[in-house]
Amino acid sequence: MKKPEAILVTPCRAVVVSGVDLQEGDKFIIHRVIDSECAMDDAKDIPFSPCGKVITLDLNHNPVMIDMAGYYRIYPDGVVSDTASLYIDRISSCEK
């Protein structure tokens, strides 16, 4: 499987990932890129679990906001429906 494109979250910015037209059983897992010393296509990543629980996006957890700076990838967990789409919005997360 080809790696999904990496999403960059910068300081004072957050990314909101929304699942659209998800069906029962559709699930995505957020991964954090941990290997920044090589080309992004070759970089390794692990499931993102900032508080000890892996962050997922599904019918019950939608949308998901990521506000910790770094690179992330979003992988389907198993087979997802053909109708499922992900949309990414970037928002400011620092007070001015």
Mean pLDDT value across residues 67-91: 93
Q: What pTM did the predictor assign? A: 0.86
Mean pLDDT value across residues 51-65: 93
Give how many domains the chain has, as a whole number. Answer: 1
Type and span of the H or E element at 31:
strand 27-33
Split at pLDDT 50, 70, 90, the class of 96 is low
Cα 81 to Cα 69: distance, rounded to the nearest angstrom: 30
Does residue 77 form part of some domain? yes
Does residue 32 form part of some domain? yes
Burial of 30 (0-12, 13-18, 19+ CB in 10 A): buried
Reported as a single tens digit per residue, the pLDDT across 1-52 is: 577 888 999 999 999 999 999 999 999 999 999 876 666 667 788 899 988 8
Question: Does the structure show a pLDDT above 80 at 69?
Answer: yes
Q: Which domain holds residue 19?
A: 7-87
Does residue 94 form part of some domain? no
